[in-house]
Amino acid sequence: MRGNIVYMAIAAIAGIAAGYAWSSVSLLFIVLYAIFLFARKRRLFLFSIMTICVFYMYIVYIDRHNETQLSSRMTLFSIRFVAPVAMDGDQLKAMVEVRKKEKLQLIYYVKSAQEKQQLSSLLAPGTVCTVKGTLERPALPRNPNAFDYRRYLRFRHIHWILQPQSISPQHCRRMSPTLYEWLLLLREKGLHVIETHFPAETVGIVQALLYGERTELDESLLEGYQKLGLIHLLAISGLHVTLLVGAAFSILIRFITKETATIILLIFLPIYIVLTGASPSVIRASFTAMLFLCANYRKMMLSPLDALSVTLMVMLLFDPYMLWDVGFQLSFIVSFALILSSPMIMSYHSAVFRLFFTTAIAQLSALPFLLYYFFEVSLWSLPLNVIFVPLYSFMILPLAVASLVAYYVHPLFSAPFMWLLQKIIIISSDVVALFSSNHSLSLILGKPSFFFLVCYAVAILVAFVQMERKRYFSLGWVVLVIALHAFSPYIDRYGEVVLLDVGQGDCIYIELPYRKGVYLIDTGGALPRQRQPWQERKREWDVGKDVVVPFLKAKGVRYIDKLIATHGDVDHIGAAEEIIHHLSVKQLVIGKGKTKNAIQEKLVQLAKQKNMEVVQISKGDRWTAGGISFYVLHPFSTYRDDNNHSIVLYAKFGGLSWLLTGDLEEAGEMELINAFPQLKVDVLKVAHHGSDTSTTALFLEKVQPKIALISVGKHNRYGHPSPDVIERLRKRNVIILRTDRHGAIRFIYSKKRGTFFVMLP
């Protein structure tokens, strides 16, 4: 079986994938794989089919039993904290256990600075509390290609979010921690030592390298590493584990026998997995190292491919849901690619060439996964990895380890190591900031369809086979697939209108067929909140960064032809700055006339700095693109306030006439129907989030909409939409679609027809 266990690993993956989501694709893959094995590896045919069946039945069993035993009616809970508590500003998050060992995600909003201090010192793994609260289901994704938080928690056997009314120290007590909880407490102490005694510039990176913890990393720096394809350096990988195990083994054998050193490392590695956060990459690297140590101890030969294959199957037996973890996928696909390509890599005598090809193979094998999850790749990724991989492996990581070990011996001994580490990290962080912010060269391709995923897989496989024969022209096939992927929206005959769910705000995405135009009408934006210093969070939710930009990148949008700011309210254009920083915008469109709105004035200044064209429009203007005309019906030359200065657009998509009204109020609506008495529409974007200051009975009588779209935040503080507005619409039998109940609302259309879709049932 030497060198053939990989076929069993592939069978295990196929069995789990088919068992969780049976489809014609999974059936086709299993049939083709069985035919391949029968033709080429007949000895393995029966073993592989049995492996598929075993893992298929295993995931079916696990998934059927992955259900809650709790009820939403429950209000009193005895909870045990089983993981470190994350305190960010006034928000406390933790994983807790209740009866029958069911896990819950706890979210609590601290009410005072004193309470925050009390809970920070009290709550830790092993603490048991009695609380009153409510259970809520985790949220489903509310926008296309958004993160599925419910599935994420379900894969961790969590079905509810617990929101306590309060957490009283009088109702909490420290229990004797389990071994696992004790290790977590030890990890927290190690993180605290780094946070309080290392130079500030080094804390986040040292914690990431030694403990797999990124919470202290500067947000902009973390985003820069992500954008440049360097984020894997801040995860504990196989190279880190190999260096640490190799160094530890070399030191130990100077004092004890090899056998004793092996046993010590075999005991230490499971502990190391817990101390470093137990991410898939850490588990893979540590378990693979344990297999090699065991093989060496028993004087057995074990190939790297077999070790990796066994590790994969053991990890999937431990947790079959891990197959859908992006860290698991990237860790194994890159490792498999490097092992299979190792003869070709080692054929080069130059260390520089070996490093270059190692990096290139890792980047190439990860490409489809990076595009599927992050929608873009940086052209700087390959050259910067060639520089940063050895920098981190042979300078930053050893210095981080030396600094921590020296500190535990005596704080004075660590000073020179910390000083040098600080200088190197400052320089490397400056380089990352330079390339990610000003010269990122990011290639936004969008989320690949299943067809393109298959094309990438085939092209990369062909490239690897040909590279082993020193035929590098085959990389052209990968470049061709990238080009086709980038060009695909321009041959798509369907257009799309999406009313994004941005909470209490407006954001409408319009894409014309064949991508003849991409328009964004408003951007959404968080309404300002007054917070005290103790309530400030390291990472605030941002509608631009967390909703609109990922949506646009998933669509493969590289350029926005028109960013239309209907008016200057923060809930309409508050996220515009974030979008301009992440994507190219050709034209900023605003209403004609002078305005004293500070937000809009700041946006105009930013547009000029970015050399964007700023266009002012008013009633009577129009433009045509892709055979579709957009008519500007408002604003008029005079106005009374920002809402009644909103840009109002009329257009036809998919055989329906649309009226997009911004925050127009009653006075503006009267101006509109007086100026256009024959105005009739099929689809009305209800003004001002359904406020009772708009959408009057007279206005509805004149425009006679069939479908009303309302962009409104769930449980918003204003009580929008007004019950009176809903009643007016229902009296006229208007179909109502609203983002608070339906999530994003999509309209896919061709020349004369289209269909509405909603994200939530």
Q: Which residues pair with 707 in a beta bridge?
A: 683, 735
Non-local (6+) Cβ contacts of 74 within 8 A are 135
Contact of 634 with 671, CB cutoff 8 Å: yes
Within a 10 A sphere around the Cβ of 652, how many other Cβ atoms? 17
Tell me the per-residue pLDDT of 529-554, one tens digit each, with 9 for 90 and over.
778 888 888 888 889 999 999 999 99
Alpha-carbon distance of 400 to 209, in angstroms, equals 8
Residue 237 pLDDT: 76
Q: What CA–CA distance (Å, rounded) separates 584 from 593? A: 26
By the 8 A CB rule, do 171 and 129 touch?
yes
CA atoms within 13 A on the CB side of 672: 34
- Domain at 492-526+539-758, CATH from 3.40.366.30, 3.60.15.10, 2.40.160.40, 3.10.20.30: 3.60.15.10
CA dihedral 417, 418, 424, 427 (to 10 degrees): -160
CA-to-CA separations, 423 to 41, 52, 636, in angstroms, rounded: 55, 52, 59
Distance CA 322, CA 338 (A): 21
What pLDDT band is residue 351 in, cutting at 50, 70 and 90? confident
Prediction pTM value: 0.92
CA–CA dist 322, 62 (Å, integer): 13
Tell me the pLDDT of the chain averaged across its residues. Answer: 91
Lookup: tokens for 568: 């200057």
Query: Which residue pairs, CB below 8 angstroms and at least 24 apart, start in 343-350?
Result: 343/468, 344/467, 344/468
In this prediction, residues 739-743 reach a mean pLDDT of 95
Task: Give the residues across from 591 on adjacent strands.
Answer: 617
Q: What is the per-residue pLDDT across 581-606, written as a single tens digit (0 to 9) for each?
A: 989 999 999 998 777 788 899 999 99
Reported as a single tens digit per residue, the pLDDT across 688-710 is 999 999 999 999 999 999 999 99
pLDDT of residue 3: 66
* Closest-CA residue to 97 (of 170, 36, 176, 158): 158
Please state, in angstroms and rounded to a whole number, the distance separating the CA atoms of residues 299 and 312.
Answer: 23
**How far apart, in Å, do the first and last CA atoms of the chain sit?**
50
Measured between alpha carbons, how far is 506 from 519 in angstroms, rounded to an integer? 14
Tokens of 232: 């894997």
Residues 6 or more apart whose Cβ sits within 8 Å of residue 337: 361, 362, 364, 365, 464
CA nearest to 393, candidates 243, 503, 259, 178:
243
Q: Cα separation of 685 and 708, whole Å?
A: 6
Tens digit of each residue's pLDDT (9 = 90 or more) over 36-53: 888 887 788 888 999 999
77: left (phi over 0), alpha (psi -120 to 50) or beta: beta
Write out the two tokens for 332.
């194994």
User: What pLDDT is recorded for position 446?
Assistant: 94
Band of residue 160 on the pLDDT scale cut at 50, 70, 90: very high
DSSP string spanning 598-662? HHHHHHHHHHHHTT-EEEEE-TT-EEEETTEEEEEEE--S--SSSGGG--EEEEEETTEEEEE-T
Domain spanning 76-176, CATH class:
mainly beta
pLDDT in tens, 286-327: 999 999 888 887 777 788 899 999 999 999 999 999 999 999
Gap between the Cα atoms of 594 and 85, Å rounded: 51
Contact 456/709 with Cβ under 8 angstroms? Answer: no
Among 15-29, 120-134, 159-173, the range scoring the smallest mean pLDDT is: 15-29
Rounded alpha-carbon distances, angstroms, from residue 407 to 204, 411, 415, 496, 583: 17, 4, 8, 59, 45
The identity of residue 4, as a single letter, is N
More confident residue, 135 or 1: 135
Beta strand spans in 352-462 (E): 376-378, 442-444
Using one digit for the tens of pLDDT, what is the confidence trace for 624-645? 999 999 999 999 866 556 788 8
Burial class, 559, CB count within 10 angstroms (exposed 0-12 / middle 13-18 / buried 19+): exposed
CA–CA separation, 684 and 674 (whole Å): 18
Bridge-based pairing of strands 518-521 and 508-511 is antiparallel
Angle formed at CA 692 by CA 688 and CA 695, multiple of 5 degrees: 65
Comparing 141-145, 161-165, 258-262, 419-423, the range with the smallest average pLDDT is: 258-262
pLDDT of residue 639: 57
- Pairing state of beta strands 495-499 and 508-511? antiparallel
For 86: left if phi > 0, alpha if psi spans -120 to 50, otherwise beta; the answer is beta
Pairing of strands 707-710, 376-378: unpaired
Residue 584 has which token pair? 């190219």
262: Cα separation from own chain's centroid: 39
